[in-house]
Amino acid sequence: MSILTTNDIRETINMIQNENLDVRTITMGISLYDCVSDDIDRLCDNIYDKITHKAENLVKTGESISKKYGIPIVNKRVSVTPIALIGGKADSDGYVKIAKTLDRAAKTLGINFIGGFSALVQKGMSNGSEQLIKAIPQALTETDFLCSSLNVASTKAGINMDAIYMAGKAIKEMAYLTKDKNSIGCAKFVVFANAPEDNPFMAGAFHGIGEPECVINVGVSGPGVVAAAIKRAGNCDFGTLADIIKKTAYKITSVGQLVATDAAKALNTPFGIVDLSLAPTPAIGDSVARILENMGLERCGTHGTTAALAMLNDAVKKGGVMASSSVGGLSGAFIPVSEDEGMIEAAECGALTLTKLEAMTAVCSVGLDMIAIPGDTPTETICGIIADEIAIGVVNTKTTAARLIPAYGKKVGDSIDFGGLLGTAPIMDISKYSCKDFILRGGHIPAPMHSLKN
């Protein structure tokens, strides 16, 4: 959809110049099924050749579109088929070799991230999936641009607690291996329930099994635009406020639709979806927390925050789907603590707690995102935090996820600084009580009754 009126053009220019509107990412999804080989070296060569061929013009195209419209396009990314599906008989060392191949391809292309070092283990683990999970700590420690994800649960399949335990152990190991960089390896790894197959955002992007050979997915972002619109609206009622958010989301999504259509045409690649998520940054004025505070909350995290976020998320979706018939991915409001200056401030002053964040994830996109916790947090406690978040997704038939950072050597009151879009994370307090015996039961939590819909 093109932006038609002069007034729309003026508004869009103001959004870009003064309210931090941007296209957060153009992500090319690439199928790697035809790269399969019994020989690990041949497999790696096939992967590298296909990615660098398919995406060779991705960065150039993104820069050209950004210049053409004056719209910032922050990231150019690639997602690939979940690597556990094509790794064949590779052992964990072989998966590390594949990881380094993906990272080398990303560096050749000049992209920001490559996602898909992933496994789908909601119902059980194949040998390949198990070997990939074992490889994750070394793979993410020894690469720069690679992102990894696990889908450990779904509403139809239930929760694979054995996979969650393996994920918890991987997170602890990564925290140690990357301790000299504030345990940044953990920031490139996310654990999902009901993971979407067309998500353009990292660290959870992968090219799903039902996707075409190659596809362009775009993620837009405009928390600052929505916050400014709410502030201008003043003390109106909730019905009026919802309409304002819907109209604003429509305009934001229209920009994404425009960029996605142009990118797909220029790259001779099918257009997939626009993900209309409100993805914050550490920049002042680009915060989901500030949106909620502009609704009337003294500080994000106080009573009423979950209700405000629920209304915001719903209105964003309703406005976005009017601007594009191809809305997908996650599409809602993100609440990553380290990447949102308002969330950081709320956490630092004690208004926003881990418990409140968990409640908020029941009504927004994704889940406990970029949460830094004490470095000495036991593995089983990490697993318990993940399991709680995953259960919310399974029971509510929605996507949830956890991206946790047990910051090595850090305690509550400290903070870690990643720089760039990953921002600064205050170390958040967690329960001092153990869930070890619960986690070590292992096995599989069955799917809820409402999964039986056929």
Distance between CA atoms of residues 148 and 99, nearest Å: 10
Instruction: Yes or no: say if 249 and 296 are a contact pair by the CB < 8 Å rule.
Output: no
pLDDT at 5 over 60: no
Peptide bond into 203 cis (omega under 30): yes
Tell me, yes or no, whether 420 lies in a domain.
yes
Mean pLDDT, range 219-232, rounded to an integer: 89
pLDDT at 242 over 50: yes
> Which of 282-286, 290-294, 417-421, 434-438 is predicted with the least confidence, judged by mean pLDDT?
282-286
pLDDT at 2 over 70: no
Instruction: Yes or no: say if 366 and 402 are a contact pair by the CB < 8 Å rule.
Output: no
Instruction: Yes or no: say if 211 and 199 are a contact pair by the CB < 8 Å rule.
Output: no
pLDDT at 17 over 80: no
| Single-letter amino acid, residue 153 | A
Distance between CA atoms of residues 302 and 293, nearest Å: 10
Residue % of the chain over a pLDDT of 70:
96
Angle between helices 127-141 and 161-177 (to 10 degrees): 20
Distance between CA atoms of residues 220 and 228, nearest Å: 17
Tens digit of pLDDT for each residue in 89-129? Answer: 999 999 999 999 999 999 999 999 999 999 999 999 999 99
Tell me, yes or no, whether 429 lies in a domain.
yes
Tell me, yes or no, whether 111 lies in a domain.
no
Tell me, yes or no, whether 280 lies in a domain.
yes
Work out the pLDDT band at 421, boundaries 50, 70, 90. Answer: confident
pLDDT at 1 over 70: no
Tell me, yes or no, whether 181 lies in a domain.
no
Beta pairing, strands 189-193 & 400-407: antiparallel
Instruction: Yes or no: say if 174 and 140 are a contact pair by the CB < 8 Å rule.
Output: yes
Tens digit of pLDDT for each residue in 310-324? Answer: 999 999 999 988 888
DSSP H helices in 110-222: 127-141, 161-177
Here the CATH number for the domain that contains residue 308 is: 3.20.70.20
Tell me, yes or no, whether 61 lies in a domain.
no
Work out the pLDDT band at 443, boundaries 50, 70, 90. Answer: very high
Tell me, yes or no, whether 129 lies in a domain.
no
Distance between CA atoms of residues 293 and 431, nearest Å: 27
Place of tokens 């719903």: 314
Residue % of the chain over a pLDDT of 90:
77
Residues spanned by the domain of 263: 217-451
Number of structural domains found in the chain:
1
Tell me, yes or no, whether 60 lies in a domain.
no
Work out the pLDDT band at 153, boundaries 50, 70, 90. Answer: very high
Tens digit of pLDDT for each residue in 48-73? Answer: 999 999 999 999 999 999 999 888 89
Give 17 or 325, the one with higher predicted confidence. Answer: 325
